[in-house]
């Protein structure tokens, strides 16, 4: 099998890259080790930056998103028992879109397969070879047979645990990591959202997040220990803690419903530098992971593949290699800004075990400043709705 770009991973990064390349008449094949049903039902992030939503619309993928998604013009910060709204529309002229990552994946798969794109699910034994030559090779097993793709370039979009990053020779990459001493206990509940926009709550018992996935499904999180035993968290205990941490003046409160899913999400930061080696490019979680507090994970991946698709299109259409050669530098510049923002939001909203009363009061003072200063609120809004992909 021969193609121009072999893409490893059928998450939002790999699928969107394949879609964007197809619009530029660049051939690609996407390899995914999970089944189609698995990747379409895998619950992940649900907040799309302004630029992400705009790109999906402009590239012909946004019809269902624009019909079913929920545009939000701001978020709420909860602290000291009160809610304070950060008005994105007023501060930046932009908004975010609440639309589940798995819904984006469904739309992208339908578009790729509907347009004759090659997306191979349930492949195994993927091996990257000859990536330092002009004709890289990807070997894999598919439908009981050993197969091979030769290509010009490989895009590693297969996540933190994928094979792409580990195919780069040892000692080539530098890793930067930070592990946080807490996690998120998350639930997906069959309950209509009580509030219209997200709430980030700083509470003396720990952080809580109110979010949603649709007009009928609520997504909620509680700060917990990284090794939390889910069996100790009954539904009633979860709801009681959410109700306590998300209690604010007014007639709105957390609505209970059937809990459809429980999980514990680790909190970590990770960056691999550089994001390219010879004919292999890394994108999304294969190159960087952020704590979910700032809602940057999928949006960073989208920014990566937007840069990479443009660079590859320029190579095939104009013979230019400069954008390919500078891909890592440009992608990392934005990734580190997202790391900074995610780290700041995480430290601002969570309780650390070693923090004393002084640190908690300092957090509250910073939140008070943030919600009363136009300049500080604007900085938060600019980062949350999304910084430029190539500034």
pLDDT tens profile 289-313: 999 999 999 999 999 999 999 999 9
For residue 29, the model assigns a pLDDT of: 98
Catalytic residue among 221, 277, 327, 384: 384
Catalytic residue among 72, 203, 288, 350: 72
Q: How far apart are CA 17 and CA 30, in angstroms?
A: 9
Catalytic residue among 19, 136, 193, 200: 200
Residue extents of the structural domains in the chain: 5-71+97-176+268-349, 180-267+351-385
How many C-beta atoms surround the C-beta of residue 378 within 10 A? 15
For the segment 90-103, the average pLDDT, to the nearest whole number, is: 95
Share of the chain above pLDDT 70, in %: 100
Query: Does 296 qualify as catalytic in the annotation?
Result: yes
For the segment 326-331, the average pLDDT, to the nearest whole number, is: 97
In DSSP notation, 222-275 reads EEE-TT--GGG--HHHHHHHHHHHT--SSS--PPP-EEEEEEEEEEEEEEEE-S
Q: How confident is the model at residue 388 (pLDDT cuts 50, 70, 90)?
A: confident
Query: Does 72 qualify as catalytic in the annotation?
Result: yes
Query: Does 102 qualify as catalytic in the annotation?
Result: no
How high does pLDDT run on average in the chain?
95
Which residue reads 């094949």 in tokens?
29
Q: How far apart are CA 237 and CA 307, in angstroms?
A: 45
Q: How confident is the model at residue 43 (pLDDT cuts 50, 70, 90)?
A: confident
Count of alpha carbons within 13 angstroms of residue 94, beta-carbon side: 20
DSSP state of 170: T
Does the domain made of 5-71+97-176+268-349 have the CATH classification 3.90.1170.50?
no
Q: How far apart are CA 110 and CA 95, in angstroms?
A: 26
Sheet holding 47-48: strands in order across? 47-48, 96-98, 70-72
Query: Does 292 qualify as catalytic in the annotation?
Result: yes
Q: How confident is the model at residue 42 (pLDDT cuts 50, 70, 90)?
A: confident
Query: 5 with 312: CB under 8 angstroms?
Result: yes
For residue 391, the model assigns a pLDDT of: 58
pLDDT at 383 over 70: yes
pLDDT at 218 over 80: yes
Its sign, for the CA torsion 227, 230, 234, 238, is: positive
- Beta partners for 120? 31
Q: What angle do CA 213, 51, 278 make, to 5 degrees?
A: 110
Query: 97 with 48: CB under 8 angstroms?
Result: yes
For the segment 193-221, the average pLDDT, to the nearest whole number, is: 95
Q: How far apart are CA 214 and CA 108, in angstroms?
A: 19
State the first-to-last Cα distance of the chain, in angstroms, to the nearest integer.
Answer: 38
Catalytic residue among 180, 277, 292, 350: 292
Q: What is the pTM of this model?
A: 0.95
Does the domain made of 180-267+351-385 have the CATH classification 3.30.9.10?
yes
Catalytic residue among 19, 94, 203, 296: 296
In 69-171, at which residue ranges do the beta strands (DSSP E only) sit? Answer: 70-72, 74-79, 82-87, 96-98, 118-120, 124-129, 137-142, 145-150, 153-156
């Amino acid at each position: 099998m021969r193609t121009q770009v072999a893409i490893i991973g059928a998450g939002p990064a790999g699928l969107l890259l394949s879609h964007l390349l197809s619009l530029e008449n660049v051939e690609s094949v996407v390899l995914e080790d999970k089944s189609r049903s698995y990747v379409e039902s895998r619950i992940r992030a649900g907040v799309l930056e302004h630029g992400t939503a705009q790109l999906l619309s402009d590239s012909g993928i946004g019809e269902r998103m624009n019909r079913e998604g929920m545009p939000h013009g701001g978020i709420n910060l909860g602290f000291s028992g009160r809610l304070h709204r950060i008005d994105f529309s007023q501060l930046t002229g932009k908004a975010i879109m609440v639309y589940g990552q798995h819904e984006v994946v469904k739309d992208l798969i339908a578009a790729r397969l509907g347009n004759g794109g090659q997306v191979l699910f349930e492949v195994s034994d993927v091996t990257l070879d000859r990536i330092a030559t002009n004709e890289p090779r990807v070997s894999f097993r598919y439908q009981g047979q050993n197969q091979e793709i030769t290509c010009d370039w490989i895009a590693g979009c297969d996540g933190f645990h994928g094979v792409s990053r580990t195919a780069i020779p040892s000692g080539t990459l530098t890793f930067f990591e930070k592990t946080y001493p807490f996690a998120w206990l998350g639930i997906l509940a069959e309950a209509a959202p009580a509030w219209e926009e997200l709430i980030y709550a700083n509470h003396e018992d720990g952080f809580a997040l109110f979010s949603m996935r649709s007009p009928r499904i609520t997504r909620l999180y509680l700060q917990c220990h990284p090794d939390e035993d889910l069996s100790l968290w009954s539904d009633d205990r979860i709801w009681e803690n959410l109700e306590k941490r998300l209690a604010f003046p007014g007639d709105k409160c957390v609505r209970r419903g059937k809990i459809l899913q429980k999980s514990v999400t680790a909190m970590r930061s990770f960056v691999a530098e550089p994001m390219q080696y010879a004919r292999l490019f890394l994108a999304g979680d294969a190159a960087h992971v952020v704590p979910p507090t700032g809602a940057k994970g999928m949006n960073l991946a989208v920014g990566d593949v937007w840069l990479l698709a443009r660079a590859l299109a320029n190579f095939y259409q104009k013979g230019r290699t400069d954008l390919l050669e500078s891909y890592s530098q440009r992608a990392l510049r934005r990734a580190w800004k997202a790391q900074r923002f995610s780290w700041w939001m995480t430290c601002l909203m969570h309780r650390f075990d070693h923090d004393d009363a002084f640190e908690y009061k300092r957090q509250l003072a910073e939140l008070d400043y943030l919600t009363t200063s136009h300049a500080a609120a604007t900085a938060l809004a600019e980062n949350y709705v999304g910084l430029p992909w190539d500034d």
